[in-house]
Amino acid sequence: MATMKHVGWIAGAAAAVLVAAGGITYAIADGDSGTPVPAADSADAGFARDMAVHHQQAVEMSYIVRDRTEDEEVRRLAYDIAQTQANQRGMLIGWLDLWKLPKVSADPPMTWMGMGNMPSGEDGALMPGMATDTELKSLEKASGKAAEVRFLQLMYAHHVGGVHMAEGCVERCEVGVERDLARGMVEAQESEMSLMTDLLKKRGAKPPE
């Protein structure tokens, strides 16, 4: 659902990250790090594919709320999430390119975590924590405090799912820098979840159960 403007901005961020991280990513692709290139059905490839999709929605939600509120705290959080997750998404897609692996798998999402048989795709929610199409539409229609609360609750749930996936990579992925990236995601998103809890409390609301 991201607009062409948003897609273009994300692609540009991805390219910038790959240039900045070239020394790391090319070492992985060439096998210079001593780690074999992952297989298409590996946890490394599955995490890269699934988290890239997961991050895409977080960026989309951040852009939506940016235009629905004037609150500086929420806008700052949304900007940080959009920047961070667009950059990480670029790195994940870049690794798939360098590994010469497909960005789309014939297997269901979360197969690499042994969760491929879970219901997915219902109303657009492909993976744990992802908002449904209906929820995204409700965010688009909201404004002011209502939009802030909706965004914070949806993003909190999104982060819960993201942390679960990142922890799965820490346990299963073989490529060291990818595990390091996943660990960083866990730390950053748990910190943001704490901030979102505080922001919701200020608005008389709570994170989703």
Count the residues in the chain: 209
Please name the amino acid found at residue 53. Answer: V
Is residue 23's pLDDT more than 90?
no
Q: What digits encode the pLDDT tens for the residues 30-42?
A: 444 556 899 999 9
Q: What is the pTM of this model?
A: 0.84
Q: What's the mean per-residue pLDDT of the chain?
A: 86
Please report the pLDDT score of residue 182 as a whole number.
98
Q: What digits encode the pLDDT tens for the residues 126-150?
A: 898 999 999 999 999 999 999 999 9
Please report the pLDDT score of residue 120 as a whole number.
66
Average pLDDT for residues 155-168, to the nearest whole number?
98
Please report the pLDDT score of residue 22 as a whole number.
35
For residue 133, what are the contacts with CB-CB under 8 A and spacing of at least 6? 1, 123, 124
Question: What is the spatial distance between Cα 11 and Cα 3, in angstroms, rounded to a whole number?
Answer: 12
Is residue 28's pLDDT more than 60?
no
Domains of the chain: 4-202 (1.20.1260.10)
3-state SS, residue 208: coil
Question: What is the spatial distance between Cα 69 and Cα 149, in angstroms, rounded to a whole number?
Answer: 11
